[in-house]
Structure 1
Amino acid sequence: MAPQKTLQAFLATARAALTVPPSIRPTPLHFVVGNESADLDSLCSALLLAYFRSHEPPHTLHVPLCHIPREDLALRPEFSAVLKRAAVTPDDVLTLTELPGRDTLKPEDTRWLLVDHNAMTGDLNQAFGSRVIGCIDHHDDEGKVPLDAKPRVIEKTGSCMSLVVKQCEGTWDALAEKNDSPENRLINRQLAYLALGPLLIDTSNLGNKDKTTARDEHAVAVVEARISAVTDPVLATTKAEEGYYDRADFFDEVSRLKEDISQMPIRDVLRKDYKEWTTVEDADDGGSGLRLGTSSAPQSFAFLADKAGGEGAFVEELERWSASKKVDVMVVLTTHKDESGKFIRELLVWARTGPEVVAAVKKFVDAEGKEKLGLSTWGDGKLDGEDGEGSWRRCWTQANTAKSRKQIAPMLRDVLKGIKT
């Protein structure tokens, strides 16, 4: 087994593999990539999985790729905070900006391992979709990754990181046992913080009973054991804090940064956690399929409307964003806590491109929304709207808070199947 590197040294090796001349680049080049929403779970899972895959036999370098342009890293201060605990910075990670162009990186010279999704999307899918060799994911199985792929792990958990920790646990143990030096214990503590961030965020500090599974609890126990195994003056702000760790404090720090969108314009709020699907599999008769766009925001629609300058101004901002993404259906999902501390979900769905799309979205509301999601009109209909040309928009408060984008997006994709533009 190869000697254990720091995360920073590993990322430097990965960067070098992308920047060397194609004639001496490793072939095939293996990538690990999260989904295009690039939330904390996707970003950290890709880093940790690539790190341990590269350290286990046959020691094939796996390059972790953030599924966003470099400029979008600035929209994710929670990621920067977790990276700091892992002794790296956003400058160390690799993004779509660093991915070589098709003139120097041929699809047939690559292999792709998906994490936190099991169907490649967007521009990456157009170029490299046929080169996917496996996945580790906690969403619904979309049937895109071959059944004989290795690894092919699709299991419902609160955080995909829980599955990554389970997949890598044996390698991690072997590395730690091979060299139990203070330096190695520090490296493993840093890696543990990388894992812990999304584990706590996605399960609300293991307190969300609708999301937290035994697999999540096991993963937290594994990484906390690595954190407590060493005192770390590098991470301490005072001598007295060497080795200090408090789960609640760490969770509060990361969640506060994740939820603080006060300085972001509405467009940045919508693009921070954006994910899109195209129903291309339904377009075999000359149509182009439909585009479903989804944005998640960690504040209420009242907050977003106030930030935009009123409900009408928010709708105008949403229209501009939807038009720029050329989506047929735009979905915005919000989460927040009310004054009593109660967790609240809200949902807006906008069918934008014709009567067939409107009819399909209404079918979703009638068949799924009212009963399964517990939808009730938000704000006396202030964000609702429709016109005679095939545009229909509704906003609701969602009583069933257990249903997130993981469940709602597949519901909408099902009713949109077969419609062509």
Structure 2
Amino acid sequence: MTARTSVKAFLATARTALTAPPSKRQTPLTFVVGNESADLDSLCSAILLAYLRTHSPPHTLHIPLCHIPRDDLSLRPEFTSVLRRAGTSPEDVITLSELPGSESLSPKDTRWLLVDHNALTGQLAQLYGAHVEACIDHHADEGKVPQDSPLRVIEKTGSCASLVVEQCRDAWDALSASSSSSVEEARAVDTSLAYLGLAPILIDTSNLQNADKTTKFDTDAATYLESKLKGGVQQATASSTSGSSGSYERKTFHDEVAHLKEDITSLSLRDILRKDYKEWEDAGVRLGTSSVPQDFAFLAKKAEGESALAEVIHEWAKEKDLGLMTVLTTSSDDGKFKRELLVWAQSDKAVQAAQKFEKRCSEELGLSPWNNGRLDIDEAGRWRRCWTQANLKNSRKQIAPMLREALGA
């Protein structure tokens, strides 16, 4: 029997293993990493999965890696809040800024487990794509993870964290049963881990109320995690009282994290575009997507005009060397959820793909011109459309593959 390790202590152990001198480093190192948008689901799922895999047979250390530079953590106050609930802080997590270069850590001395995506992208893909061994994900299967991988889970869920919980329940329960820690210590660890799982599940399913996103995996995982909170905090049920002192109530916890995630008033427009950003490259065209938790009216007001907003988006696309730039917004107007979508093509090939996307997908997505087409342009080699989106079911998870298919057609 072994003592339970706190999340903070686990992260310290992982950092020590990663930063050890090459001559003293035990290889291969196994990394768990979420996707490059580094949203709450990716960040929390990576830590939760790494912890539970490390503390279950064969007890191989798994290093959770935040798929962003350290400076970008400041754009995610919701993650900071959840880390505090888990008894740790942003200073403790490991980011791309701490990942040794290939001259110090050879790619062949690494193993990669992906969460919240099933294909590495960007610089990590170039260096480590051949060393991906497993995945737990809820996006479309890109066929990059070998079919015979020992762990290859790709299922539709609202949150990837729900799949992590589903895969690790037995290991978690066995860990709790075999721990030599005191009851109080074990409960404290369970509470920390439960918050890491609950936060993304509740956020990604709108507190389990979004029927289009919430699956049985999500409701079962939330129930399981809340059972872990019982005894660790004051009555973990949907009807109990709540407070920041450590008690838990589902709606209050959801609202607390959601407010931090959606409050982008203090961010610059560039930071808003880079906060939840993902990109792919297909058929020689780089596609970038920014998800924003406010509507275009908010963004235009912040930019002090639609032309100024377009210029900021254009500059971001240039900075990222994009042929096709997409901004997807979500917002609530008087309690009514809505989506909007902007697609901006800036090369002949990208224009052709964007026009194919419009022709193929407008009806399915329920697209109609935003603000009488005030952000639309149609010029040689430059094409832009901004729409309101009537079909609220489809998020980046569905729209990005539509755009990528148009690029590859």
Contact 1:133–1:149 (8 Å) recurs in 2:
yes
State the match for 1:393 in structure 2.
384
What CA distance in whole angstroms lies between the structure 2 residues aligned with 1:381 and 1:243? 49
The equivalences for 1:171-210 within 5 A come to 171-179=171-179, 181-210=183-212
The alignment's C-alpha RMSD in Å is: 1.5
Unaligned runs of 5+ in 1: 233-238, 283-288
SS at the partner of 2:63? strand
Q: Is 1:217 the equivalent of 2:208? A: no
What CA distance in whole angstroms lies between the structure 2 residues aligned with 1:398 and 1:231? 41
Q: CA deviation at 1:182?
A: 1.2
User: Which residue of 376, 397, 405 corresponds with 1:414?
Assistant: 405
State the match for 1:346 in structure 2.
340
SS at the partner of 2:4? coil
AA aligned opposite 1:397:
T
Overall identity of the aligned pairs, in %? 60
Q: Is 1:271 the equivalent of 2:264? A: no
Contact 2:191–2:233 (8 Å) recurs in 1:
no
What CA distance in whole angstroms lies between the structure 2 residues aligned with 1:358 and 1:231? 54
State the match for 1:156 in structure 2.
156
Tell me the alpha carbon deviations over residues 56-106 of structure 1, each in whole angstroms, 9 at most, x when there is no partner. 111110000000000000000000000000000000000000000111100
Q: CA deviation at 1:243?
A: 5.8
Q: Is 1:73 the equivalent of 2:73? A: yes
| Change in 2 beyond 3 A, CA 1:241/1:305 | closer
State the match for 2:319 in structure 1.
324
| Change in 2 beyond 3 A, CA 1:387/1:20 | same
Q: CA deviation at 1:360?
A: 1.7
What CA distance in whole angstroms lies between the structure 2 residues aligned with 1:303 and 1:270? 13
Contact 1:53–1:59 (8 Å) recurs in 2:
yes
Q: CA deviation at 1:241?
A: 8.0
Q: CA deviation at 1:382?
A: 1.4
Q: CA deviation at 1:357?
A: 2.0
State the match for 1:335 in structure 2.
330
Unaligned runs of 5+ in 2: 235-241
| Poorly superposed stretches of 4+, deviation over 6 Å | 239-242
Q: CA deviation at 1:178?
A: 2.0
Contact 2:56–2:175 (8 Å) recurs in 1:
no
Q: Is 1:290 the equivalent of 2:285? A: yes
The equivalences for 1:71-110 within 5 A come to 71-110=71-110
TM-score for the superposition, normalised by structure 1: 0.93
Contact 1:228–1:245 (8 Å) recurs in 2:
no
State the match for 2:303 in structure 1.
308
Contact 1:2–1:55 (8 Å) recurs in 2:
no
State the match for 2:237 in structure 1.
none
Contact 1:2–1:59 (8 Å) recurs in 2:
no
Q: What number of residue pairs does the alignment pair up? A: 401
Contact 1:7–1:51 (8 Å) recurs in 2:
yes
State the match for 1:245 in structure 2.
248
Q: CA deviation at 1:206?
A: 0.1
